[in-house]
Structure 1
């Protein structure tokens, strides 16, 4: 009941006409970012974050989160019409979406994708509304040791539960920790890795690094690949939408299953991309028409889009309640909150109730507004895709440079952005994951601070991390996840092997 009353209060905050305007502007920009390959939710939020510095935190986060929802919607447009995933999580959408477009069913595919996205996000928002206050209330019992244990759990889950090579994840994370340590030690006041440079006293700004890693890095990679847009045009009318909505109820089991998978992968550090592939695989396994997947099945579009939106929205749950981002975009949003002087975590629900519930209320309206925007603007965005990438790429690079410069009004930040762009490009070429680097860059300082405070309290004894059942269970789970690849390999060896068939 308290959650409902707080949500009603949040809608009251959202009633400000300027907040509504920011929401629609954010959705439109987000769809545009989702449509343009080389950008994405994390990139768009990072590049446009400086635009929100003059806004109130509530208005700023509404606009940034709306950009994120718009990007989630927009990624499906290029996947279906042009077989070019606008977002990593839209790759699975191409498997059936593009064949549907080739068969002249582009409108049906897009309407299915957008409706699935709306359903997934709505389920995740309900989860966020009713579960976030409970988690925040529970997390108020946390001290430095418990917070470090949660940070450790996040880092270890990326290593042990991710699809990438654990060694590559650790290498990327170590680089992120090293970059986060540059500057002044907040505990002792010592200079760390500044090499006599006064410019490095403030360290590497998170925002400049993210703009370079995601925005510039992706553009360099896309330019190398010589991207060209080729695809189908599409129009969506009310008849197509109503027909799709009439057919979708028969896929209710797929929608529910995909929403659950998406919410789980969003709360844990899985993210929208593995959620979309997992949901597509489950839908193909359990569907009556699973053998036809890949030839233009609407269910094959519904499953990944529903899961991706559920994961993208539910990633905000650990970010708001524990200060732990569940996705790269949530990590960028976390950086925005820190810039505004807000500390994500359980106290946020006590000290900044207007901010939290205004954000949650905006998610409900953003999804409705996003559905309306994408259903009415598909022809416009399809036309943009016919602009040569040689024209779009320089525009994106200029936007990145302006965004980096406005952080501190320093030309050095543009050079730092370009260096991080090259790092992002090399990471992509060498198949190293960027998400662990971003996570370590954002949480490195906070994890170090929590660890050192815990060590001061225990006079240097690591036994504080097993001092009570709560922190002990979290640390044990973290270590289990860290060594899970070795544990699973050992269990596989212990299993009895099936006897080889006898030769005739």
Structure 2
């Protein structure tokens, strides 16, 4: 009950004219980010952070989180109408969403997507409401060894459970850790990896790197692939919307199963993209006879959209309660919190309850606002997508450079954006994941400090990471996540390779 009392208090904070206006503005900005290939939620959030410096932290995070929800909704719009996923997590929606739209049922497809997304998001927020205090109280038992074990768990989960090859994930993590080490060591005061450049003494700006990786990098990849819009009718018929809303409860089993998958993949570092693909695959395996998947099956839209949004929402829980982001966007938001002087983790709930519960309350409101706005604005965004990419592309480039320069008004940052734009493009072409690099950049300092402190406490003995039941359990789970999924996959390949008797 204490959580719900705090939630009611949070609604009192969130429901103010200023915050409601920011929610609407954030969702609209997110819709633009979601429908325009080449931006994406992580980059959209990173571009917006410099513009929030004049706001108080509660208003700023409400704006950023609302933009995140809007981006997730916007990605579904292009997946269904144009067969172009605006977000990586919307790829699975194209499999049945676009065929349904091509069959003349675009209103039905969009309504199924947006209603499922809203249900998934609200389920995720409910989970955060129920578990937030428990997670933060549990984390109060943590010392330096436990925190290092949690960070190691996050890294191990990305390696063991990620969809990319383990070697590529390790390369991405390592590069992120190296980037987080540039500048002065917080413990020893030693200057590292500056190579005589004074501009590197304070380290490389996390925001500038992210703008290059996700903005310029994705734009270069989009240009390389050659963008072609193939739109279908986008008029919203209110009668079809109401009929589809009435139809949705028939798929309650798919909705509940997909929400559960999304919750798990959101709390762990699986992320929305993995959740949407996993949910789609499970729905296809569990489906009864009927229209084949890939031809406009309703479950093929409901499953990925529900999982996508519940995962995207639940990614906020470990970021707020433990200081461990489980998605690229959550990592960017965590970087923003640290810039505003807030340290995500258990003490955030104790020292800034108004901030935390105001944010959680705003999630309920902004997701409902998102469903309404996205239905109203589909025709507008469909028209926007018909603008030649030769016009939209330069606009994205200008936004990236202005956002990067605003961070610290340094010309050096513009070169950093260019360099990491190329890095992001190369990672995309070579199928290297970017999320582990972003995670490592955010957690690198924290993990290093926790390791230093642990070594000081134990006189250099690694045994401290197995010194009590809590840290031992976390390390055991981390090692299991690192080894078991890949070992299981390897064993499966061996079984399939054996000749049948």
Structure-2 change in CA distance of 1:255 and 1:489 (3 Å): closer
Residue 148 of structure 2 corresponds to: 148
Residue 246 of structure 2 corresponds to: 246
Structure-2 change in CA distance of 1:189 and 1:129 (3 Å): same
Q: CA deviation at 1:301?
A: 0.7
Residue 84 of structure 1 corresponds to: 84
**Does 2:412 correspond to 1:412?**
yes
Query: 1:117-157: CA deviations, max 9, x gaps?
Result: 00000111100001011010011010000000000000011
- Measure, in 2, the Cα distance between the counterparts of 1:110 and 1:34: 15
Structure-2 change in CA distance of 1:59 and 1:289 (3 Å): farther
Residue 372 of structure 2 corresponds to: 372
Query: 1:66-91: CA deviations, max 9, x gaps?
Result: 00000010101100000001111111
Q: SS of the residue aligned with 1:141? A: coil
**Does 2:337 correspond to 1:340?**
no
- Measure, in 2, the Cα distance between the counterparts of 1:326 and 1:493: 28
Residue 53 of structure 2 corresponds to: 53
Residue 72 of structure 1 corresponds to: 72
- Measure, in 2, the Cα distance between the counterparts of 1:485 and 1:362: 36
Assess if the C-alpha contact under 8 Å between 1:27 and 1:366 holds in 2. yes
Residue 359 of structure 1 corresponds to: 359
- Measure, in 2, the Cα distance between the counterparts of 1:340 and 1:493: 48
Residue 271 of structure 1 corresponds to: 271
Q: Where do 1:410-489 residues align within 5 Å?
A: 410-484=410-484, 487-488=487-488
- Measure, in 2, the Cα distance between the counterparts of 1:224 and 1:14: 43
Q: SS of the residue aligned with 1:75? A: helix
- What's the C-alpha RMSD, in Å, of the aligned pairs? 1.5
- Measure, in 1, the Cα distance between the counterparts of 2:424 and 2:282: 32
- Measure, in 2, the Cα distance between the counterparts of 1:290 and 1:154: 41
- Measure, in 2, the Cα distance between the counterparts of 1:130 and 1:88: 29
Question: Structure 1 residues 474-483 or 91-100, which shifts more?
Answer: 474-483
Query: 1:297-334: CA deviations, max 9, x gaps?
Result: 12211110010000000000100000000110000000
Residue 206 of structure 1 corresponds to: 206
- Measure, in 1, the Cα distance between the counterparts of 2:158 and 2:92: 22
- Measure, in 1, the Cα distance between the counterparts of 2:500 and 2:438: 47
**Does 2:365 correspond to 1:387?**
no
Q: CA deviation at 1:186?
A: 0.9
Q: SS of the residue aligned with 1:325? A: coil
Residue 399 of structure 2 corresponds to: 399
Residue 226 of structure 2 corresponds to: 226
Residue 281 of structure 2 corresponds to: 281
Q: CA deviation at 1:268?
A: 0.5
- Measure, in 2, the Cα distance between the counterparts of 1:325 and 1:319: 4
Assess if the C-alpha contact under 8 Å between 1:161 and 1:484 holds in 2. no
Q: CA deviation at 1:290?
A: 5.8
Assess if the C-alpha contact under 8 Å between 2:291 and 2:297 holds in 1. no
Question: Structure 1 residues 289-298 or 68-77, which shifts more?
Answer: 289-298
Structure 1 gaps, min length 5: none
Assess if the C-alpha contact under 8 Å between 1:283 and 1:290 holds in 2. no
Q: SS of the residue aligned with 1:292? A: coil
Residue 101 of structure 1 corresponds to: 101
Q: CA deviation at 1:473?
A: 1.0
Residue 176 of structure 2 corresponds to: 176
Residue 114 of structure 2 corresponds to: 114
Structure 2 gaps, min length 5: none
Equivalenced residues, count: 501
TM (norm. structure 1) is 0.97
- Measure, in 2, the Cα distance between the counterparts of 1:474 and 1:398: 44
Q: CA deviation at 1:40?
A: 1.1
Assess if the C-alpha contact under 8 Å between 1:42 and 1:328 holds in 2. yes
Assess if the C-alpha contact under 8 Å between 2:160 and 2:486 holds in 1. no
- Measure, in 1, the Cα distance between the counterparts of 2:291 and 2:50: 48
Structure-2 change in CA distance of 1:16 and 1:485 (3 Å): closer
Structure-2 change in CA distance of 1:299 and 1:493 (3 Å): closer
Q: SS of the residue aligned with 1:460? A: coil
